Structure 1
Amino acid sequence: MRTLVVGASGHLGSEVVRLASAAGSEVSGTATTAATGWSPLDIRDRFAVHALILSVRPELIVNAAYRATEWATCADGAANVALAAAATGARLIHVSSDAVHAGRPTPYGDDEPPTPIYAYGAAKAAAETAVTAITPTAILVRTSLITGDARSKQTAFALDLARGTRTGALFTDEIRCPLDAIDLSAAILELATTDYTGVINVAGPQAMSRADLGRLTAATHGLDPAAIPTCTVAESGLGNRPLDIRLDSTRATTLLTTPLRPISESITVSPAPPPH
């Protein structure tokens, strides 16, 4: 299967590339610059997106590109990719986020509509609306915090805090369902082989706070969990953020053979960098 990964230089995108290649797919990728070794692409540029996808002619497109602080990349870019996928007949899997929800104590099902309360969530919700309207056969994967090795922003931040090389704190009252990038990538590629369409939750079965995730990460890497500064969202002064977002991934676990492991079972020590 000819596969195009949009955002191939990112943590999730690179894992999708690795697993798809290992499975025998002919894989192409995009990134924001050519320095990554992938085709440079600004997904905010509709004509550039269309031209690249027209030249590659992929059978499957996985859109894993995002910038949490930029509406044009998250929303407009997703629409541009969907338009090109529809024009070329490619199967599209769009990676969305639990940030589309406002937060509540009970888990969110797959089919619940977005209720965003901050800018990133609104951008991802807009992206879902555009992708669904343009490519009704697309799969929209709502996921949670993506963890793994040091390429993961969650992992890198926790380790930096534990080592004292970075300032900041992890929230004790912001609850998510973290999932390892390897498990998420495998689920995405397995979904591509099904006839599923629409939104599906693909997140970990273990809900925990960002603070607890950071402490677990630190301990796994032989660092002192207590060295990580913590606070509440209110204490951080960051304003309105969703607190408790738990995704019910029952549909995914029923449909797929890919295990969605609890993060306490899947978190591993990052490999040492190669010697110079």
Structure 2
Amino acid sequence: MVDVLVVGGSGLLGRALVRRAARSGARVAATYHRHAPSRDGRPLDIRRRDDVVATLRRIRPAAVVNAAFDQGDWATTADGAAHVAIAAVDVGARLVHVSSDAVFSGRSGRYTERDRPCPGTPYGAAKAAAETAVAAIDPDAAVARTSLIIGGGESAHETFAHALVAGTASGVLFTDDVRCPVHVDDLADALLELAGSAHPGTYHVAGPEAVSRHELGTLITGRALPAGLRVDSGLPGARDVRLDCAWTRARLGTRPRGVREFLSR
């Protein structure tokens, strides 16, 4: 029997989940859609409900962490989450669904675990729909909202910041776009802790420090980077979303580090 199944195991977070679970001695398996992870990867298109159910029936995991998403595809992000929840209930597995601060519009700035989603983008709407579906299908599931995921130089933000320094990319980093970055390993540990518990509900798993994308890029590279304002860019998306994690911190032993701690040189 598998202790933990990571759905979406080929992404930055999925790989960290597989790595951290295996390091703890858990029996772990992972699914992927396009790119196979290095450890026990099994192809799965979560848009196909019957395939998801059949896969979980074969694996029989004790817990499932769903880290799969596609920012441009509602069927993967929203419908796929529902299919994973249906399959988890079918086999009696503990479900931890990974959500995002994109479910918030940013108009309020700071959001607690009890705040209702108010998305301002199609991706945020898909993530909010996924949360609703998971809670309706599996009331015992945990939904974990997170923020910008950083770690190992492999995240999109780290890659872009280094490309700006190298001159292989053009653009700016926004000084008015604020988030609470979290290290991928800290996030993975918190999600695995939730997977090993029986506590349902919505959790906020993000770093304790709020920084702008420009400040974050500067911390990553140690270099001066071109700055701009999201409000002037015309790009969709919230500008200031700070996840208040106080309720979650009172319930989890895992303590995500602040960005200045894990990016210190």
- TM-score where L is the length of structure 2: 0.95
Pairing of 1:245-256 with structure 2 (within 5 A):
245-256=241-252
What SS does the corresponding residue of 1:235 show, helix, strand or coil? helix
Q: Tell me if the contact between 2:180 and 2:206 (Cα under 8 Å) persists in the aligned partners.
A: yes
Indicate conservation of the 8 Å contact 1:33/1:39, yes or no: no
Find the counterpart in structure 2 of residue 45 from structure 1.
Answer: 48
Q: Report the CA distance between 1:144 and its aligned residue.
A: 0.4
Indicate the RMSD between aligned Cα atoms, in angstroms: 1.5
CA contact (8 A) 1:20 1:189 kept: yes
1:116 pairs with 2:113: no
Matched, 1:257 2:258: no
Q: Is the 8 A contact 1:101 1:121 kept in 2?
A: yes
Give the structure 2 partner of residue 273 of structure 1: none
* One-letter code aligned to 2:246: T
**Does 2:185 correspond to 1:167?**
no
SS in 2 for 1:76: helix
Counterpart Cα distance in 2 of 1:22 and 1:149: 17
Shift of 1:73: 0.9
1:111 maps to a residue whose letter is R
Q: 2:237 maps to what in 1?
A: 241
> Deviation digits for residues 50-70 of structure 1, max 9, x if unmatched?
111110000100000111121
* Consecutive unaligned residues in structure 2, runs of 5 or more: none
Q: Is the 8 A contact 1:76 1:127 kept in 2?
A: yes
SS of 1:96's equivalent in the other structure is strand
TM-score (structure 1 length as normaliser)? 0.91
Deviation at residue 169 of structure 1 after TM alignment: 2.0
Please state how far the C-alpha of 1:7 moved relative to its aligned partner: 0.8
Alignment length (residue pairs):
262
Q: Which residue of 2 aligns with 1:25?
A: 26
User: Structure 1: how far apart are the matches of 2:35 and 2:202?
Assistant: 32
- 8 Å contact kept, 2:9–2:15: yes
Deviations 1:57-97 (A, max 9, x none): 00100000111121111101111101100111100000000
Unaligned runs of 5+ in 1: 220-224, 270-276
* Stretch of structure 1 that moved more, 141-150 or 188-197: 188-197
Q: Percent identity?
A: 47
| C-alpha distance in 2 between matches for 1:35 and 1:140 | 25
3-state DSSP of counterpart to 2:242 = coil
